[in-house]
Amino acid sequence: MANSTPDGTIRLEVFRYSPEKTEAPWYQTYEVPFRKDWVVLDALNYIKDQSDGSLTFRWSCRMGVCGSCGMMVNGIPKLSCAAFLRDYYPNPIRVEPLANFPVLRDLVFQLDSFIEKLKSVQPWIVRKQEKPVSEGEYLQSPAEHARYKDFSMCINCMLCYAACPVVGLEPEFLGPAAIALAQRYNFDSRDQGRSLRQEVVASHDGIWQCTFVGECSAVCPKHVDPAGAIQQAKVASTVDWFKEVLWPWGAAR
């Protein structure tokens, strides 16, 4: 934790939910020291260490890599390790669990639905026939790597799901990160699994649910641009459709 001296205090209004205590959630206010180099996660850790050990939240790396400390900070999905108190001071900060997910306790939400969606797109390299190790690696040029590199930066933090109103309205929607990761492998020159992924990506709950609000890309801390991935998948799926309808002999996968 930072060593700077506090410069007054800042108020945090934190979403609390304890299923064994109450049916409904409530907001609890905490005064924490204001330090210029503190982020919301530092303030939450201060609360947990100094005043209220029952406050529950997820975190790990403190440096924007692990993707576990995503929270709504004043209504906007953010990594709490990257949301500086100084950007809100002297106003109070409202901290809530990521939107569009069921809450288990305080700031901890249930991410099972996301994990299922992620698995359904088979986010790994799929080969029709694996070649034996003795034949060596699957080689790739820098240009081929550049094609999917941005999409591969995803850290599964789920901020994009919290930013997407379609996820809130249609909980079955495959969602931004899962589609971006499907595209990450579809664009990989070593992969041969696009037609398998298409069954999920181009299904009823896939890309066509997206109305292109675009906020998934706006909140992404890794500049993955899931909104772009989805629109590109829509274009590719439309091309597939035209090929099948107008050019039946060309639709061979």
Question: What type of residue sits at position 217?
Answer: S
Question: Which DSSP string corresponds to 33-71?
Answer: E--TT-BHHHHHHHHHHHT-TT-------SSSSS---EE
Residue 185 token pair = 């492998």
Which CB atom, from 45 or from 217, has the smaller least distance to another protein?
A: 217
- Residue 123's region, left for phi above 0, alpha for psi from -120 to 50, else beta, is beta
Which CB atom, from 92 or from 228, has the smaller least distance to another protein?
A: 228
Which CB atom, from 47 or from 163, has the smaller least distance to another protein?
A: 163
**Considering the complex, what minimum distance in angstroms separates the CB of residue 37 from another protein?**
28
**Considering the complex, what minimum distance in angstroms separates the CB of residue 233 from another protein?**
10
Residue 160 token pair = 């994009």
Which CB atom, from 156 or from 237, has the smaller least distance to another protein?
A: 237
Q: Which pairing describes strands 9-16 and 70-73: parallel, antiparallel, or unpaired? A: unpaired
Distances (CA, A) of 27 to 73, 94, 131, 150, 185: 14, 9, 56, 38, 42
**Considering the complex, what minimum distance in angstroms separates the CB of residue 99 from another protein?**
7
**Considering the complex, what minimum distance in angstroms separates the CB of residue 225 from another protein?**
7
**Considering the complex, what minimum distance in angstroms separates the CB of residue 25 from another protein?**
6
**Considering the complex, what minimum distance in angstroms separates the CB of residue 63 from another protein?**
27
Binding site for another protein (CB under 8 A): 17, 19, 24-25, 75-76, 99-100, 102-104, 110, 112, 142-143, 145-147, 165, 168-169, 211-215, 217-218, 225, 227-228, 231-232, 234-235
Residue 145 token pair = 């790597």
Which CB atom, from 60 or from 238, has the smaller least distance to another protein?
A: 238
Which CB atom, from 90 or from 142, has the smaller least distance to another protein?
A: 142
Given a contact cutoff of 8 angstroms between Cβ atoms, the answer to whether 88 and 10 are in contact is yes
